Amino acid sequence: MAMTRLSLATLLLASTVAGCAGAPPVAPTSAPRMAAYFDCVRERGGIAISAHRAQSGEDQPENSLQAIEATGRAIPGAILEMDAALTRDGVLVMMHDDSLDRTTTGRGLVADRTLAEVKAARLRAPDGTLTGAAPPTLDEALAAAGRVGAIASIDLKPSSEAATVALARQVVDQVRRSGAADRVILITYSAEAARAVSAMAPEMMISAGLDDVAGLEGLNPAQILAWTGTREARPALWRALGARDVEVQFGTLGGSDRSWDRVYAADGDVSEYRALFDQGVTVIATDTPLAVKGVLGAELTAAQGCRR
């Protein structure tokens, strides 16, 4: 029998809270272990750099162990944004696209391929270099991030509500099996999704897309990193979130020539990254993490005084 499509929060609560289906999630009062780390970074005047798809060089394939290890070594305390997808036989592998075609020698949808078939593919770097490496599993990626002291930021890409809940549950379960809950951020794109994933994984940090402070309703602010987009600086919002002890993220990344990474680099002077920090940004998500490090090296050093 076909199910009526429920809201993301309702789907989650129906499976976790007996007798409370449809009720709004209640924000937990405790904080993830990593919350104190981000509070410390903000309070010490530090910065955290989030590397898009874990890359810091064009010779590194997206979401690869090579990228994870190289970026983690190059940027102390790096946040490595990564994308998880589920194979036909139920294993989480690191892949941005729905298909293998663009970044590997494989073909077809990840969801139609077994783990063995995905592992038979070889990763291709943005500069065209064909490597001998296969796409890693989420477990392998988490282990690699741990070896270099990095934070794994796992993107729960927008999909249908039911599919998003299912993917989130698979990711949360694997993170727990890998013992990585205190060095993982789960990326969501709406307040509703953030509430659902927060209830599912109260011990993990959540990246929540927020346009105003009111979006924190029903959330535990200590658990939240506020994603404030890629389009324009919003210092008033950033100050308001900071006043609630919520760390601010801003993205300079993007494939367009109008991404801030490319705009800043056009004249050879990327000092604009400092203006973002000065206006209240704690996490800069970028396609060019080494450029951000070059501008905000002292602030990156300040963040190293914070323990995780």
Sequence spans of domains, the chain: 31-83+136-303
CB atoms within 10 A of CB 128: 8
5-14 tens-digit pLDDT: 334 444 444 3
Q: Is the pTM of this model over 0.75?
A: yes
Q: In the predicted model, is pLDDT for residue 123 greater than 50?
A: yes
Rounded average pLDDT over 254-266: 92
> Long-range contacts: 6-14, Cβ < 8 Å, 24+?
6/161, 6/162, 7/161, 7/192, 8/161, 8/164, 8/165, 8/192, 8/193, 8/196, 9/192, 9/195, 9/196, 9/199, 11/161, 11/162, 11/165, 11/196, 12/165, 12/196, 12/199, 12/200, 13/199
Q: For 31-83+136-303, give the CATH class.
A: alpha beta
55-93 tens-digit pLDDT: 999 999 999 999 999 999 999 999 999 999 999 999 999
Percentage of the chain modeled with pLDDT above 90: 83
